[in-house]
Structure 1
């Protein structure tokens, strides 16, 4: 285990390590007990439509915080948190095309940008583990597998696209328990959106995820699918804003918010 991946490391310590370039990998399993968030950063002229897109699609786009225009700091999410440098890997899109995956975005930050922080399923993984439910991608040291589906989102202005899901294989009894546990976290995707046959939601091959890494599915296990915060990236490819910045899939922003603050029970 890396010293940085130790459960004793606080989100603030991990953000500082990320800012220094000491951690550039996925963040699943880090800062257990604390909320991780997806990021979407847009020019102010596109922010209103995207805000409505999140409101119309709360399952894949659970909105946790929105910044002031041009402000790279979100004190609500954490002390000394800097949106421009505290994510392990970013993605930069121009007119809907991926043009760069930088380690920080300080050199392209603008005073008209608005940051949206969206809930992430990594938040409820800690509760699943505490209840004895294994998380395969963590066990295998991989990024969570993510898939584009044939399930449409509700459009808002120029933003629309397919639902993206994460997948975790489980035995049937664990899947039932996982539904109960994750239902307590509606602010971070909540309960699964589908269990079983992936073809029913338009997924052809679980061994070929659209994002992240494939994981082993053992005999007697079911694929369990949750709405994913990468969904906005699919909508952004349709909207084609002149600039958009996101986290790279699996490389989240670690916050000082507690998972329990987003549990309804």
Structure 2
């Protein structure tokens, strides 16, 4: 493993993916990763004991919109060479969540002290990739402009069960004017590996969201009178499934604190 160099400059959009990971590994980066290393794919994280890995793999395969898989580790191996050089999944995210019996019990900056030889890491596609494509087309995203985490909501859209895993789909929301919403559907359809096209546009109550101003995860953003709330399937969905499954032990990313991979965004475009 590489020796850390200090001091780190604060990562920004122009940083390399590896610089962002090293900043997280050193503890210098503890906030969300939106906008960092903007040319590179970011991923959501789920770490489970091997005894539940096969069921979780089937859950992801049955629910490709919220759970598009980018990579899976070997048991006990903290590296993910298919996603980047020198990745250490135990330390290279700014913030983690630790779950015991379905309850969130801690949000540490690394999980090296909790690592076990039976743990399997799953990295799931993140909407930051299609956000990059939207902004490249001139579509402004309010949470990015305001330097906030995206708003995320538990919905009444049920995921397809697999083994012990089941629960509601979590959706992220971006307010857009109608013309931008139509273009956003076209653009994000090119990226099925990072959630693809929206799952809902308009009235949030139709998907079980009663208080748009109070997201379940992330930060609230205003929806202006000339805008539609546009909802995409979200990689926080597995956290809802973990709560339902009540596994004795699991680790995830903290919402917005992603693994920054070496993959360039264009690698995930299907056309």
In the alignment, is residue 73 of structure 1 matched against residue 79 of structure 2?
yes
d(CA) in 2 for partners of 1:118, 1:7: 21
C-alpha offsets along residues 189-210 of structure 1, whole Å, 9 cap, x if unaligned?
Answer: 0000000000000000110000
Q: Is the 1:36–1:254 contact (alpha carbons within 8 Å) kept by the matching residues of 2?
A: yes
| Aligned position for 1:43 | 49
d(CA) in 1 for partners of 2:228, 2:168: 23
C-alpha offsets along residues 75-106 of structure 1, whole Å, 9 cap, x if unaligned?
Answer: 11110110000001000001111111000000
Compare 12-21 and 165-174 and name the one that shifted more.
Answer: 12-21
| Aligned position for 1:143 | 149
| Aligned position for 1:55 | 61
Root-mean-square deviation over aligned CA pairs:
1.0
SS at match of 2:231: strand
What TM-score do the two structures reach when normalised by structure 1? 0.98
d(CA) in 1 for partners of 2:242, 2:162: 12
What TM-score do the two structures reach when normalised by structure 2? 0.96
1:7, CA displacement in angstroms? 2.3
Of 237, 248, 263, the residue aligned with 1:231 is 237
In the alignment, is residue 253 of structure 1 matched against residue 264 of structure 2?
no
SS at match of 2:10: helix
d(CA) in 2 for partners of 1:33, 1:127: 10
| Aligned position for 1:263 | 269
Runs of 4+ in 1 over 4 A off after TM superposition: none
SS at match of 1:71: coil
Matches within 5 A, 1:179-190: 179-190=185-196
Q: Is the 2:11–2:23 contact (alpha carbons within 8 Å) kept by the matching residues of 1?
A: no
Count of residue correspondences: 264
1:219, CA displacement in angstroms? 2.1
Q: Is the 1:94–1:240 contact (alpha carbons within 8 Å) kept by the matching residues of 2?
A: yes
Q: Which runs of 5+ in 2 are unaligned?
A: 1-7
d(CA) in 2 for partners of 1:138, 1:21: 23
Q: Which runs of 5+ in 1 are unaligned?
A: none
| Aligned position for 1:105 | 111
